[in-house]
Chains A and B, each alone.
Chain A
Amino acid sequence: MKRFLSVLAAVMVMFTLLAPLTVSAEEGKTTLTILWWGSQTRHDLTIKMIEKFEEKYPDIDLVIDYSDWDGYWTKLSAQVAGGQTPDIMQMDYAYLAQYASNKVLAELDSFIASGELDVSDVSDSILTSGQIDGVTYALSTGTNAPVLLYRRDLVEAAGVELPMNATMSEYVAVSKAVYENSGMRDTFVTDCSADLLRFRLRSYGLNLYNDDATALGFDDPKYLVDMWQLALDAQNEGWGMVPGESSAATAFDSMVVDAWSRYQNSNELQAYRDATGLDISMVTIPDVDDATASATYLKPSMFWCVAEQSEHKDAAIKFINFFTNDPDCFDIVGVDRAIPISAKMREHIAPSLDDVSKEVVSFVDYVSQPGMASPLMNADPACHTDVSELLGQYSEQVRYGLVDDLTAFAQEFMDEANGILAAAAQK
């Protein structure tokens, strides 16, 4: 018992000794914290890149920390709550509005104006993508486009062809042919997610939300009805995936066992080829037949942001500038965070890319041609997750065959979604 108490006491003492053990910065150095999410490759590349940065800027010391995608948002929000926001953080388009409107992020316009952040080789549309209400809070790390990944082997075996920018009926025809030939089904039109609805709306020059996100960007239920009807037809005719019948455990093997096509982003081509070992190709997202605009857009794959509370914003900007304009950076990271936004850097890395990366670059170049893509919509409001989940709930009921009057049901969704948006806008 005595021994036991003394062990306990010793441990308590140990704790009090351990507690103040925090790293103190080296003399005369600016210490910055940086946080990002990613996978093994990205962690390795980023760390090497940061070592290079520290070599070039010996007075700046970066304290690194990284995580996986799921954990990232919990970790970052906890750090913000604790007043420990990292000086530099990676940001996603879906969360940008939320973090900016809560004043977590520093505005970057003054640094752009002073030339500390050099964006002379970056196109305006890319800069705009990091703006909320006209203020720049984030700088894109690279450019992506939404794509339809598909199994070229299955399409060829069915004796058909999928054009680079197919219309919806062309896509449906291919889908039917592939289904008859191989039994593999469609998960693109049957998905009925907010993203899919957005593509449909963009084909008519509309968006999911109006410009200031106070309401939905459309007031005719027909867009929803058309989307649902196509999915129901697909399910009934056999070529569309019936809910619950998928056999895949992950998105990757869904292209092996269930689906011949999938909506993803252009930078994911490599991952899908590696994970499936199959002949996977990409085309642009099919537009509806009576489209008045292209649904496709170029979008930032992710951003760098600086914390509003950072005491060394200028040093943080040096890092972002390094990531945007320095060939030494891209010699290491390549296209890991998608295609560089600076035209000069794109040219710089082009010769050294591997085949898949070249394919991705040429795809983005193809989409960048005039008329191929329409402008990127505003960043989604913070309540987008609510609206998109709500649509998920409605679509699920439709797909399970529980809804008779699609138009009334669509109107019901629109009313409810508008309610959410109006309530959020009031705050």
Chain B
Amino acid sequence: MTDMVNIQQISGSVRFRRRFLRTVYHVFMLAVGFVMIYPLLWLVSSSFKPSGDIFTTASSLIPKTWTFEHYTVGWKGFGNYTFTTYFANSLMIAGISAIGMIFSSALVAFGFARIRFRGRQFWFVLMLITMMLPGQVMMIPRFVLFNNMGWVGTYLPMIAPSFFGSGFNIFLIMQFIRGIPRDMDEAATIDGCSWYAIFGRIILPLIVPSLVTVGVLTFMGSWEDFMGALLYLNKPSMYTVAYALKMFNDSSMSDYGATFAMSALSLIPILTIFFFFQKNLVEGISTQGLKG
């Protein structure tokens, strides 16, 4: 009898402690979360303030007077092209790049992580070294190269390279693959599976979370790529969101309201993609397979 009471008391206090910890966790997360999200709130609220109020009432998150002018003026874009065009262009570039990057990087990463072949070390070190050169000094030589290839004025310089992997993403996926035990591929080899089958049937499904991560990061990088658009696009019909966003600012005249309004809108696609894919992250590998 006394034992029963004790157990109840203990489990009661455990439950209480748990609830207390959970509350602390959520309060902490919400507080930190506010700090994290503050800039977004500021951006959105500023985009609804009249131009004259943006900086004079910068510390207030609620506009004194609301205006949608920045959205209507901003969306008009420049000349004969509106942000509809820029969004369509950016979505296409970022989407294709992300897909290309996922596949090419996964392939290369598998090659480096699983197969022992002559020259592997050499190519791997080469890959790392190309990551180390500050990109700014490659810009002009690269422009000259793409110009000689006749690619300037097309989207190719902004899309094509992602079909050949990037050091960062290859290395990332490699690390994931190296975390997977070899027992399974060994068993598969004995069953007569080729390297290609091992990659496609065993490894690929297991590294989905890392592929999602690579996809999201590539999409984001491509979405925000201002330099590529600046250098390689030379027709207003081809401009991207990242490029158009900068054009509200001149050396002497800057329309911050429109910049903020369009910046806020430009976050929507990336956030949507993030929400959509982060589910994938949650489900990932741990709920499928690999239980034994």
Q: Bound state CA distance, A75 and B232, in angstroms?
A: 9
Q: Which residues of B contact A248 (CB under 8 A)?
A: 55
User: Which one of A15, A22, A68 contacts B153 once the chains associate, using CB atoms below 8 Å?
Assistant: A22
CB-defined contacts of B226 to chain A, threshold 8 Å:
71
B139: chain A residues within 8 A (beta carbon): 74, 78
Q: Give the docked Cα–Cα distance between A47 and B77 (Å).
A: 12
0 or 1 for each of B140-160: is its CB under 8 Å from A? (1 = yes):
100110010111111110001
Residue of A4, A40, A64, A78 touching B103 (CB-CB under 8 A):
A4
* Contact indicator B140/A81 (Cβ below 8 Å): yes
| Cβ-closest chain B residue relative to A42 | B250
Determine the residue in chain B with the shortest Cβ distance to A144. Answer: B252
In this assembly, does B234 line the interface, its C-beta being within 8 Å of a C-beta of chain A? yes
Is A1 touching B235 in the complex (CB atoms < 8 A)?
no
B184 at the interface (CB under 8 A from A): no
Which chain A residues numbered 17 to 44 have a C-beta less than 8 Å away from chain B? 18-23, 33, 37-44
Does B80 interact with chain A (Cβ within 8 Å)? yes
Q: How far is the CA of A23 from the CA of B100 in the complex (A)?
A: 27
Instruction: Name B216-249 residues within 8 Å CB distance of A.
Output: 226-227, 230-231, 234-236, 243, 246-249
In the docked arrangement, what's the CA distance between A1 and B139, Å? 35
Residue of B55, B231, B247 near A257 (CB, 8 A) is B55
Asked if A39 and B144 sit within 8 Å, CB to CB, the answer is no
B235 touches A74 (CB 8 A): no
Interface residue A354 (Cβ < 8 Å from any Cβ of B): no
* C-alpha spacing A20/B160, complex, angstroms: 14
A267 within 8 A of B: yes
What is the total number of residues of chain B having a CB less than 8 Å from a CB of chain A?
55
Tell which of A218-226, A269-277, A286-294, A377-385 binds the partner: A269-277
Measured CA separation A4–B106 after assembly (Å): 11
Q: A66 near B247 (CB under 8 angstroms)?
A: yes
Contact B78–A40 (Cβ < 8 Å): yes
Chain B, Cβ-Cβ closest to A301: B252
Q: Nearest chain-B residue to A64 (Cβ)? A: B236
B247 contacts A265, C-beta separation under 8 Å: no
Q: Shortest distance in angstroms between B161's beta carbon and chain A's nearest beta carbon?
A: 11
Q: A8-B163, A39-B247 are in contact. Are A82 and B147 (CB under 8 A)?
A: yes
CB distance from A179 to the nearest CB of B (A): 20
Q: Does B58 contact A (CB under 8 A)?
A: yes
The minimal Cβ–Cβ distance linking B97 to chain A, given in whole angstroms, is 11
**Does B192 make an interface contact (CB < 8 A)?**
no
Tell which of B199, B226, B231 has the most Cβ of chain A within 10 Å: B231
0/1 string, A31-72, CB within 8 A of B gives 1: 001000111111110010000000000000001111111110
| A37 cross-chain contacts in B, Cβ below 8 A | 250-251
CA gap between A257 and B55 in the complex, in Å: 9
**Segment 240-272 of B: residues with Cβ below 8 Å from A:** 243, 246-256, 258
Q: Does A83 have its Cβ within 8 Å of any Cβ on chain B?
A: yes
Residue of B nearest to A336 (CB): B253
Q: A74-B231, A78-B231, A250-B256 are in contact. Are A69 and B249 (CB under 8 A)?
A: yes
Interchain CA distance A65-B230 in the complex, whole Å: 10
Asked if A416 is at the interface (CB within 8 A of a chain B CB), the reply is: no
**Chain B residues in 8 Å Cβ range of A75:** 230-231
State in angstroms the CA–CA spacing of A65 and B237 once bound together. 10
Q: Which residue of B has the minimal Cβ distance to A278?
A: B52
Task: Determine whether the beta carbon of B163 is less than 8 Å from that of A11.
Answer: yes
Q: Is B39 on the interface with A (CB-CB < 8 A)? A: no
Q: How far apart are the CA atoms of A256 and B58 in the complex, in Å? A: 11
A73 nearest CB across to chain B (Å)? 11
Check if A362 is an interface residue, CB within 8 A of chain B: no
Contacts of A47 in B (CB 8 A): 78-80
Q: Are B154 and A21 in contact (CB under 8 A)?
A: yes
**B289 vs chain A, min Cβ distance (A):** 18
Question: Judging by beta carbons under 8 Å apart, are A39 and B231 in contact?
Answer: no
Inter-chain pairs besides A33-B234, A68-B247, 11 sampled, C-beta below 8 Å: A15-B156, A23-B235, A41-B253, A44-B78, A47-B80, A250-B254, A256-B56, A257-B56, A271-B252, A271-B254, A275-B55
Which residues on A are within 8 Å of B, measured CB to CB? 1, 4, 7-8, 11-12, 15, 18-23, 33, 37-44, 47, 63-71, 74-75, 77-78, 81-84, 248-250, 252-253, 256-257, 264-265, 267-268, 271, 274-278
A–B pairs, 25, beta carbons within 8 Å? A15-B160, A19-B154, A38-B247, A39-B253, A40-B76, A40-B78, A41-B253, A43-B247, A44-B79, A65-B236, A67-B246, A68-B248, A69-B250, A69-B251, A70-B246, A74-B227, A74-B231, A78-B140, A81-B143, A253-B58, A268-B252, A274-B51, A275-B52, A275-B254, A277-B51
